[in-house]
Amino acid sequence: MPVDSGWTLTEDDRQLFITEADEMVQALEEGALALERGNQSPEMLQAMFRAAHTLKGNSGLVGEAGIAEHMHKMEAVLDELRAGRIAVTPALVQQLLSGIDALRDMLAQFAQGQSPSPPVQSPEQPQAAPQAPAPSKPAAPVAPAAPAASAACLSRYLVELSVDAACPMPAVRVFQAYQAISRRGQIERQDPPQESLAQFEGRSATLVVRLERPDDVQAALSGVDEIRVESVREQSMAAASAASQAQANEVEREALAQTVRVRVDLLDHLMNLVGELVLDRTKVADLISRLERAKDEQGEELRQELSRSSLHLGRVTLDLQETIMKARMLPIDHLFRRFPRLVRDLAQRSGKRARLEIYGQDTELDRMVMDELGDPLTHILRNAVDHGIEPPAERLAAGKPEEGRILLRASTEEGYVVVDVADDGDGIDAEAVKRIALKRGVLTPEQAERMSMHEAEELIFAPGFSTSEEVTEISGRGVGLDAVRASLERLSGVVDVATERGKGTTFRLRIPLTLAIMRALLVRTGTAVYALPLGAVRQIVRLGPGNLRSAHGRPLLADRGEMIALHSLAGLYGEPVPDGEQFAVVVGTGDRQIALKVGALLGEQEIVLKSFGDFLGAVPGFTGATILGNGELALVADIRYFLRGREAP
């Protein structure tokens, strides 16, 4: 494709290239892994070829000859594969995967602003870029041939257009292009949308359009100047295999991803504004309840008006809040997609066979939360391959399929995202766990004696515990599941484990959808108001002779046969303990809990978490502060602070 002489690479172009390249790399890797599992559907091979081809073209456009050259080689191999001229062998898959790794490295260099050097190809080393076998036939035409089965009906195509950099009025050209294409086919989606074209100043447009033949696009646009067809990709209708369906989703998501480019700092600012609105709403509600108590006849009209506007404010705020939340959300697939390769590599290195099945990848999660979730999930998956899945021989002996199965599943549950990682391995041997815990000094013999099965299983989260007898490359050096639990707690989430000997182990992670706004229980102790995150609140009890106990001079709360350590909330913060604290709030995560004595319960409320700012930094015991409806400040308690070093009694 000709490049304008005046064309220079802007930061936006670079970003776009990187984002798209990531998608292509992902598509290639998914394809390579599918090939390894014996899936060689023509759709998938076609998709891989297209990904390589597109990336080759894009690399050329941004002036990355090294990447373009690399992609050219990969494309040639895929072309041979697609045409059935070479067979899929483990060596070939490995070659592809190595080529993808090398590509990743080059892209990473590009992203850092360096011009990537092509992979070293010394005679001693295997060539990083896959090579097509010798007598290479001329490459097949790029445009996908429409499958015979769907030739009769209109196929759906993803069309990417670009406007010449020199074009003074891109909006007009894009409008003309839309008009021209709509005469040939049916436009299902367009970005930029036609309504907002007036403000459009970009250089690219994307359409999803139903057409008879892909060539129709080019034909339709023959009369429109300054518009180029960058690509026409078919979106398979009769997606028979899961792989091609995933590919279709990928392409579709790619189209959508271009429509939701919002700067994170802008979103953060919007978040702050929404936070303010939420406060206003609470304030108005507070005002109303005070007015109502006033019982002033003259105020009746005023009250009604206030009530109406309060209702309205409430609706608007809620709407705005949900919209902004959505904008901060990403499908969890952004995180999950890197795991199939991880599991494959881990299994191969440990001489096992394992397959990762992913469900619920469309589940959305705050991107900040998602960033934090990567490491703990990686760790749990490593754990599943390393400790969960048995070696093939052992599995066969146990009557299981040779290939282990690991399930990664995301779902939502009222304000929370639940992620399950389930393996069909050997399960956790509670007795072995106890033995090791004793050896590592995590546990005393007395504790081990009266410990339940589940409590023993939970020991794997204890600091300094790792069930593998020796540190392996796979499970990482000395970092145990305690790190996973700590990460989850940072997110105000929890991780639990369920296991059955011989059947497998499931780790369940429960994470709040977002961190910025949360529900909290407000309590007063002395003159201060504290907010306790509701996710950690287990129950609230009124203290009395019926449930107050003590052991060795330390107060305990008796609750349905359970004894929970009882502390004054003010006391834990080093404040003077006020008299007459009548309530206890039991808070906890996992198997650790503590009862906090407080003076009064002020109710449950949605709060906006605000940091203390640079001056105070991280204050131990608090995650921040929040402003209440009456303008008062409440400090938001960090539950981990209370639970640190306090195990279940």
Partner 1 sequence: MSASGSEVTRMDDDGELQVVLFEIEGVTYGVEVERVLEIIRRPEVSRVPAALDYVEGVINLRGNVLPVFDLRRRFRLGGDPARASHIVVLRVHDALAGVSVDGVSQVVRIPIGRIEPPPPGIAGPQLRYIEGIAKLEAGLCVLLDLDRAFQPAELALGEGGGDRDAG
Least distance to partner 1, CB of residue 291, Å:
22
Smallest distance, Å, CB 569 to partner 1? Answer: 10
Looking at the Cβ atoms of 425 and 624, the one nearer to partner 1 is: 624
- Min CB(282)–partner 1 separation in Å: 12
264 vs 616 by CB, closer to partner 1 = 616
From the CB of 276, what's the least distance to partner 1, in Å? 5
Amino acid code (one letter) for 509: L
How far apart are CB 66 and partner 1 at their closest, in Å?
43
Q: How far is the CB of 585 from partner 1 (least distance, A)?
A: 17
Q: Using the minimum distance from each CB to partner 1, give the nearer residue, 147 or 571.
A: 571
Nearer to partner 1, 174 or 634 (CB): 634
Minimum CB–partner distance for residue 645 and partner 1 (Å): 16
Please, what is the minimum distance in Å from the beta carbon of residue 323 to partner 1?
20
Smallest separation (angstroms) from partner 1 to the CB of 623: 12
Q: Which residues of 273-291 are buried (b: 16+ CB within 10 A; e: fewer)?
A: ebbebbbebbbbbeeeeeb
- Whichever of 223 and 613 has its CB closer to partner 1, that residue is 613
Tally the C-alpha atoms within 13 A of residue 99's C-alpha that lie toward its C-beta: 27
The residue among 625 and 643 lying less far from partner 1, judged by its C-beta, is: 625
Those residues with Cβ within 8 angstroms of residue 378's Cβ, 6 or more apart along the chain or in another chain: 339, 342
d(CA 475, CA 381): 9
CB 518 within 8 A of CB 531: no
CB of 575 to partner 1, least distance (A): 5
End-to-end alpha carbon distance in the chain: 71
Token duo for residue 16: 């776009």
Residue 417, SS3 per DSSP = strand
Nearest to partner 1 of 545, 620 (CB atom): 620
What gap in Å lies between CA 525 and CA 542, rounded to an integer? 15
Residue (362 or 632) nearer to partner 1, CB: 632
E strand or H helix at 269: helix 264-294
Angle at 73 between CA 71 and CA 75, to 5 degrees: 65
Closer residue to partner 1, CB minimum distance, 49 or 573: 573
Instruction: Provide, rounded to whole angstroms, the least separation between the CB of residue 631 and partner 1.
Output: 5
Q: Is 190 exposed, middle or buried (0-12, 13-18, 19+ CB in 10 A)?
A: buried
User: Do residues 116 and 66 lie in contact, with contact meaning Cβ atoms separated by under 8 Å?
Assistant: yes
Smallest distance from partner 1 to CB 405, Å? 47
Q: From the CB of 518, what's the least distance to partner 1, in Å? A: 16
Q: Which two tokens stand for residue 178?
A: 């839309």
- Of the pair 7, 612, the CB lying nearest partner 1 is at 612
Distance, CA of 132 to chain centre: 37
Tell me whether residue 230 or residue 575 sits nearer to partner 1 (CB atom). Answer: 575
| DSSP label of 386 | I
Is 329 strand, coil or helix? Answer: strand
Residue 202, class by beta-carbon neighbours within 10 Å (0-12 exposed, 13-18 middle, 19+ buried)?
Answer: middle
Report the relative pairing of strands 404-413 and 416-423 from DSSP bridges: antiparallel
Residue 576 Cβ vs partner 1, minimum distance, rounded to whole Å: 11
What is the nearest approach in angstroms of partner 1 to the Cβ of residue 488?
24
Alpha-carbon gap, residue 519 to 623, rounded angstroms: 14
> Which residue, 326 or 646, is less far from partner 1 as judged by CB?
646
Q: Nearest Cα to 443, choosing from 463, 427, 428, 429?
A: 463
What is the DSSP code string of 510-577?
EEES-SSEEEEEEEEETTEEEEEEGGGEEEEEE--TTTEEEETTEEEEEETTEEEEEEEHHHHTTSPP
Strand partners, 157: 209, 234
3-state secondary structure (DSSP) of residue 310: helix
Nearest CA to 260 out of 367, 419, 374, 368 is that of: 367
Pairing relationship of beta strands 548-551 and 494-500 according to DSSP bridges: unpaired
The number of C-alpha atoms within 13 Å of 134 and in the hemisphere containing its C-beta is 0
3-state secondary structure of 634: strand
Considering the complex, state which of residue 422 and residue 625 has its C-beta at the smaller distance from partner 1: 625
Report residue 184 CA to chain centroid gap.
Answer: 39
Binding site for partner 1 (CB under 8 A): 275-276, 279, 528-529, 573-575, 610-622, 624-625, 627, 631-635
d(CA 83, CA 75): 12
Closer of 250 and 638 to partner 1 (Cβ): 638
Q: Name which of 553 and 617 has its Cβ closer to partner 1.
A: 617
- Work out the widest C-alpha separation in the chain, in whole angstroms: 96
